[in-house]
Amino acid sequence: GAILEFSYVGYVKLTKTVGNETTINAILYEDSQMLEGVEVVAFGTQKKESVIGAISTVKVAELKTPSSNLTNALAGRIAGVISYQRTGEPGVDDASFFVRGVTTFGYKKDPLILIDGIELTSTDLARLQPDDIASFSIMKDATATALYGARGANGVILVKTKEGQKGKARLSLRVENSISTPTQEIELADPVTYMRLHNEAYLTRNPLAPLMYSEEKIDNTVPGAGSVIYPATDWRKELLKDFTMNQRVNLNITGGGDVARYYVAASYSQDNGILEVDKNSNFNNNIKQRVFLALAIDRQRPAVADVVDE
């Protein structure tokens, strides 16, 4: 009988012999070796050999790191992209990006961020979960300007999220726990040592100068001696934690048939800062539905709730 051949970029070729069947079901499986050679561009995907612009693609598996958000996970992974973080406070610790340097001091320097073709901010990018990303690419040269105009002059970050796959419902769950500790602690003098050194410095400059701290105060400040009247408080211990525990949970369900397919994802993350008062909880869900009628209709309903305790 006749032979049908099914092929697509990034998938293993499938060959089937046609007999008396009126309906033929064909399932193509991903070819990981070929997928590495596919680049996402402005109007679809191209083979890496046919792309003339400077485009970097990050493997989604490399983004699954124990970082507070996605923008921090990109640091040091893409050539020509500079990322920096202004603060480590939970909830506002998003990294900023420069693609191939800074060309202006006054105007907008951030790259264009497109998530599923919609322009969004770095905050929206930070809230994405690596488990929900299908592809991640960055356009770094004049090709971005040619395709997106002046808005793409600072580079373009292209993110495509996962869609529903035909078949039975498949559930995926990832639970992650991490520990954060200060990279370096400064050794500070205790209150008694500080007062003695302070008095010694005064006497070195002027032996007749009155002492700032009396011997009575120094003797009673010894921890436990007179904690009410002469407290010996370790403010660093009161303000900072020795370590913190952070939790992240991501759950997604995908499935569907010939008419409709769905992808439902929900995530929860809790980041506890080193400061005793810093805490951030993030709730995120994403629902994507595709209906195949005369044409394909995509529906997406993302929602994010960010709770910061101060």
Q: What is the pLDDT of residues 124-140, one digit of tens each?
A: 888 788 888 888 888 87
Half-sphere exposure of 187 (CA within 13 A, CB side): 1
Q: Check if the beta carbon of residue 58 is closer than 8 Å to that of residue 74.
A: yes
Looking at the fold, whether 105 and 86 belong to one and the same domain comes out as: yes
Q: Which residue has the higher pLDDT, 57 or 5?
A: 5
pLDDT over 60 at 40, yes or no: no
Q: pTM (2 decimals)?
A: 0.58
Q: Does residue 227 share a domain with residue 89?
A: no
Average pLDDT on 17-39 reads 70
* 94 shares its domain with 153: yes
Residues 6 or more apart whose CB falls under 8 angstroms from that of 280 comprise 90, 91, 270, 271, 272, 273, 306, 307, 308, 309
Say what the pLDDT of residue 122 is. 80
Q: In the structure, what pLDDT confidence band is assigned to residue 259 with cuts at 50, 70 and 90?
A: confident
Mark whether 113 and 57 lie in a shared domain.
yes
What pLDDT is stored for residue 41 in this prediction? 52
C-beta separation of 140 from 56 below 8 A: yes
Residues 54 and 112 in one domain: yes
- Is 94 domain-assigned? yes
Residue 186 lies in a domain: no
Q: Which two tokens stand for residue 130?
A: 């690596």
Mean per-residue pLDDT over the chain, rounded: 75
Confidence of residue 49 (pLDDT cuts 50, 70, 90): very low
pLDDT of residue 290: 58
Identify whether residues 158 and 280 lie together within a single domain.
yes
In the predicted model, what is the mean pLDDT of residues 11-28? 82
Please indicate, yes or no, whether residues 268 and 207 belong to a single structural domain of this protein: no
Write the CB contacts of 93 (distance below 8 Å, at least 6 apart in sequence): 68, 69, 72, 85, 87
**pLDDT above 50: residue 105:** yes
Cα–Cα distance for residue pair 88/157, rounded to 1 Å: 23
Q: Give the total number of structural domains in the chain.
A: 3
Q: What mean pLDDT is predicted for residues 143-155?
A: 75
> Do residues 200 and 305 both lie within one domain?
no
For the segment 244-256, the average pLDDT, to the nearest whole number, is 85
Shared domain for 89 and 213, answered yes or no, is no
With pLDDT > 90 as the criterion, what percentage of the chain qualifies?
Answer: 1
For residue 34, pLDDT beyond 70: no
**Taking 80 as the threshold, does the pLDDT of residue 267 lie above it?**
yes
19-28, 165-174, 205-214, 281-290: the lowest-pLDDT one: 281-290
Handedness of CA 33, 34, 35, 41 (dihedral sign): positive
Let me know whether 144 and 279 are in one domain: yes
Q: Please tell me the predicted confidence (pLDDT) of residue 30.
A: 74
Range of the domain at 211: 191-239
| Confidence label for 168 from pLDDT (cuts 50, 70 and 90) | confident
Q: Of 67, 48, 58, give the one whose Cα is nearest residue 138.
A: 58
Same domain, 103 and 211: no
Whether the pLDDT of residue 62 is over 50: the answer is yes
Q: Is the domain of 220 the same as that of 288? A: no
Across the beta sheet with 244-256, the strand order is 167-180, 244-256, 260-272, 279-292, 296-309
CA 215 to chain centre: 54
34 or 29: which leads in pLDDT: 29
- Which neighbouring-strand residues pair with 308? 280
Q: What is the pLDDT at residue 209?
A: 82
Residue 226, pLDDT above cutoff 70:
no
